[in-house]
């Protein structure tokens, strides 16, 4: 794949980025037949080979530290954000002085603060679909109308009903989603209106044992939060991972090894990697495209020609004298560690698509001086800031089994409170305290530190680890122009490309969400029989049951709201940086996801999302990308 020169060849479509959105656009276009499609991916294409995917699994297994990018080592020629680089941005003040914002350049992201942007992404073929959890929630109808209904954020230029058929295609044709309609419970949602007669292609992943314990103790109870009563109900989480099929659907296994991964096997490390590839990643779509639409054959009316070039970093979007995109300049490399001799090539197409994720799309556009008459490129950077709560249950609940999350508590995804406080969803984690406290490694360390060893250590671990559980409470972040990614000549990577320079903060709207979420969590812990720990109890003795949630002012994501402090983390969701809208003054792309400024440049990915609701955005991104693919095909004079 590398080494072939593709500059000079003219393609119908050039796509920058090999993740979710790039794959969904490529497939939608390729399946219309007759298209020449070139895909440039900055990172490696390692995962495409069944044998080499195993090297990612081994990298993960060999590491004591479990972060989303552990299996996907950093590549200096295509560097990526990493959670290990996150620091507190506000410097410790001198006595009597206010906290001083200190730009943190220790990682790839240049963090100017005041808060660190804590989400990461992967630059490799597959993109962040390599390490995502797999949760496939649709947005709620009200999420598209946040401004009209609640006076917050902005409205989308279309609603849930317009996007719904694309959700179905994303779930059935691209990702493959396992879920049941009847097992999901959202506030104010009627199954018939929300889903119609739709059936997911695969049956839901069975609820974990923890889910069932929580359901037994919580379903049908009420909790009072912010003076309001909320009925509690566990909700099954739709997942992009293989399960028992419905209606003749054939689950897609690992690329190059199709009988592997036809069903989820319950490895709980979905983040950072599914060892058997039961979880969807865009590698599966690329594999399908390579087989059905091989790039070394000319296209026919029935078949397209898709060429994927990994280790090709796009450096500039070029314009001609009419302001149309004339090419994408890119640089290839062989050795990741060594900057290559400059040898810029240009990919040429009729239509160009940037699919490099919300942050990389923005920096490429800014570096090129393109598509930004609105001044909105890079602005309205959003994540789903989340807080964790965690504890030890009275009885064993057997975490570390089943995929990372199979159920959630969705009562707070919508409601009148959104006028003043962010909505949130509650993800039930099946991985004990792995996310919240680095368990089981940290548990072992703590016990060894207390002098336990041998059979006594094993016995004690056997008491504590099976009782570990955690909740992740993920806030909707509203768009603010003051949260942005930009570029600065002072900050470049090894290839000379611009590193993302980020300014990020959380408004009171989100912080009050933390407060409300913590109140909800506390109420549920009370129902579960998990009391707060006494301050004088020895945490490293792991008394149970008990709420072990702890937020320290030295945590990088520590924020205050009123009298309370919370530690927030990123959910791995980057969005909003080139949003869609109805007006070229306030948005970067039109409702068809084409840039206002250049009629042959499309942008796809979560960067298009004007608001993010409370759903993990990958499904919405994929649905939008399918729609963009259709729009591009129509622009090409479509041969559907």
Task: Name the helix (H) or strand (E) containing 629.
Answer: helix 618-635
Residue closer to another protein, measured from CB, 258 or 591: 258
Q: Report d(CA 177, CA 620) in Å as an integer.
A: 13
Please state the closest distance from residue 265 (CB atom) to another protein, in A: 8
* Residue number with CB closer to another protein (257 or 329): 257
- Whose Cβ is closer to another protein: residue 303's or residue 420's? 303
Beta carbon of residue 170, minimum distance to another protein (angstroms, whole number): 13
Strand partners, 92: none
Q: Residue 212 CB, nearest distance to another protein (Å)?
A: 16
CB of 242 to another protein, least distance (A): 8
The strand ranges marked E within 139-274 are 222-225, 228-231, 234-236
* Tokens of residue 100, six digits: 């001083």
CA gap 223, 569 in Å, rounded? 25
Residue 258: CB minimum distance to another protein, A = 6
Measured in Å, how far apart are the chain's first and last C-alpha atoms? 28
- Considering the complex, what minimum distance in angstroms separates the CB of residue 632 from another protein? 22
> Would you say 260 or 444 has its CB closer to another protein?
260
Closer residue to another protein (CB): 179 or 423: 179
Residue with tokens 């994540």: 383
Nearer to another protein, 257 or 346 (CB): 257
What value does the CA radius of gyration of the chain take, rounded to a whole number of Å?
24
- State how far the Cα of 181 lies from the Cα of 290, in Å rounded to an integer: 33
Angle, CA of 222, 227 and 233, to the nearest 5°: 25
- CB of 18 within 8 A of CB of 126? yes
In the three-class reduction of DSSP (H, G, I as helix; E, B as strand; rest coil), residue 210 is classed as: helix
Instruction: Classify 271 as helix, strand or coil.
Output: coil
Closer CB to another protein, 402 or 576, in the complex: 402
Question: What's the closest the beta carbon of residue 74 comes to another protein, in angstroms?
Answer: 25
- Nearest-approach distance from CB 268 to another protein, in angstroms: 15
Pull the structure tokens for residue 495. 């290839």
Q: How far is the CB of 460 from another protein (least distance, A)?
A: 19
Give the residue with the Cβ less far from another protein, 270 or 278: 278
DSSP annotation string for 467-519 = GEEEEEEEEPPPP-TTSEEE--TT-B-TTSPBPPEEEE---HHHHHHHHHHHH
Token pair 């640089």 in the structure block, residue? 331
What DSSP line would sit under 314-379, residue for residue?
EEEEEE-TTSSEEEEEEEE-S-TTSPPPP--EEEEEEEEEE-S-HHHHHHHHHHHT-S-TTS-TTB
Nearer to another protein, 293 or 503 (CB): 293
CB of 62 to another protein, least distance (A): 11
- Which residues form the interface with another protein (CB under 8 A)? 50-51, 54, 58, 172-173, 201, 244-252, 256-260, 262-263, 291, 294, 297
Pairing of strands 234-236, 546-547: unpaired
On whether the CB atoms of residues 619 and 582 are closer than 8 A, the answer is: no
Identify whether the C-beta of residue 300 lies closer than 8 Å to the C-beta of residue 30.
no
**What whole-number distance in Å separates Cα of residue 432 and Cα of residue 392?**
9
Q: Which is nearer to another protein, 148 or 246 (CB)?
A: 246
Rounded Cα distance between 343 and 220, Å, is 64
Q: Considering the complex, what minimum distance in angstroms separates the CB of residue 180 from another protein?
A: 14
């Amino acid at each position: 794949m590398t080494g072939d020169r593709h500059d000079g060849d003219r393609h119908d479509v050039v796509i920058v980025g090999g993740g979710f959105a790039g794959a969904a656009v490529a497939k939608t276009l390729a399946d219309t037949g007759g298209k020449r499609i070139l895909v440039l991916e900055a990172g490696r294409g390692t995962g495409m080979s069944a044998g080499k995917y195993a090297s990612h699994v081994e990298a993960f297994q060999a590491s004591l530290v479990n972060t989303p990018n552990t299996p996907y080592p950093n590549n200096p020629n295509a560097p990526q954000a990493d959670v290990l680089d996150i620091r507190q941005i506000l410097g410790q003040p001198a006595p009597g002085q206010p906290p001083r914002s200190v730009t943190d350049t220790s990682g790839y992201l240049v963090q100017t603060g005041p808060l660190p942007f804590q989400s990461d992404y992967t630059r490799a073929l597959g993109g962040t679909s390599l390490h995502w959890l797999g949760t496939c929630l649709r947005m709620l109808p009200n999420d598209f109308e946040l401004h009209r209904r609640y006076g917050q954020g902005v409205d989308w230029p279309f609603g849930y009903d317009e996007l719904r058929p694309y959700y179905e295609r994303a779930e059935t044709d691209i990702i493959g989603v396992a879920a049941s309609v009847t097992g999901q419970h959202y506030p104010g949602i009627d199954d018939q209106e929300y889903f119609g007669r739709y059936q997911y292609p695969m049956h839901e992943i069975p609820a974990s044992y923890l889910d069932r314990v929580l359901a037994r103790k919580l379903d049908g109870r009420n909790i009072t939060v912010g003076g309001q009563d909320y009925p509690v109900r566990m909700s099954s989480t739709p997942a992009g991972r293989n399960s028992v099929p419905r209606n003749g659907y054939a689950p897609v296994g690992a690329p190059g090894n199709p009988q592997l991964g036809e069903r989820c096997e319950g490895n709980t490390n979905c983040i950072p990697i599914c060892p058997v590839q039961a979880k969807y990643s865009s590698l599966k779509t690329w594999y399908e495209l390579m087989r059905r639409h091989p790039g070394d054959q000319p296209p026919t009316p029935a078949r397209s020609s898709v060429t994927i070039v990994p280790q090709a970093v796009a450096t500039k979007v070029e314009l001609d004298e009419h302001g149309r995109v004339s090419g994408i300049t890119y640089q290839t490399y062989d050795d990741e560690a060594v900057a290559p001799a400059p040898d810029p090539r240009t990919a040429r197409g009729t239509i160009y698509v940037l699919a490099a994720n919300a942050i990389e799309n923005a920096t490429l556009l800014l570096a090129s001086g393109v598509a930004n008459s609105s001044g909105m490129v890079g602005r309205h950077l959003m994540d789903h800031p989340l807080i964790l709560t965690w504890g030890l249950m009275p009885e064993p609940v057997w975490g570390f089994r089943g995929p990372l999350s199979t159920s959630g508590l969705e009562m707070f995804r919508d409601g009148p409170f959104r006028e003043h406080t962010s909505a949130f969803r509650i993800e039930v984690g099946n991985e004990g305290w792995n996310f919240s406290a680095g368990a089981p490694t940290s548990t072992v360390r703590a016990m060894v530190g207390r002098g336990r060893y041998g059979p006594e250590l094993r016995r004690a671990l056997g008491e504590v680890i099976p009782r570990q559980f955690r909740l992740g409470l993920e806030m909707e972040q509203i768009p603010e122009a003051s949260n942005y990614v930009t570029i600065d000549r002072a900050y470049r990577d090894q290839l000379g490309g611009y590193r993302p320079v980020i300014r990020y903060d959380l408004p009171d709207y989100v912080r009050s969400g933390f407060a409300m979420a913590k109140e909800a969590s506390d109420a549920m812990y009370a129902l579960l029989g998990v009391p707060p720990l006494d301050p004088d109890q020895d945490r490293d003795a792991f008394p149970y049951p008990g709420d072990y949630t702890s937020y320290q002012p030295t945590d990088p994501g520590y924020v205050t709201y009123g009298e309370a402090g919370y530690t927030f983390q990123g959910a791995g969701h980057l969005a909003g940086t080139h949003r869609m809208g109805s007006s070229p003054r306030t948005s970067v792309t039109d409702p068809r996801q084409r840039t206002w400024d250049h009629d042959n440049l499309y942008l796809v990915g979560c960067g298009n999302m004007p608001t993010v609701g409370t759903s993990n955005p990958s499904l919405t991104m994929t649905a939008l990308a399918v729609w963009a693919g259709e729009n591009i095909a129509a622009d090409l004079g479509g041969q559907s």
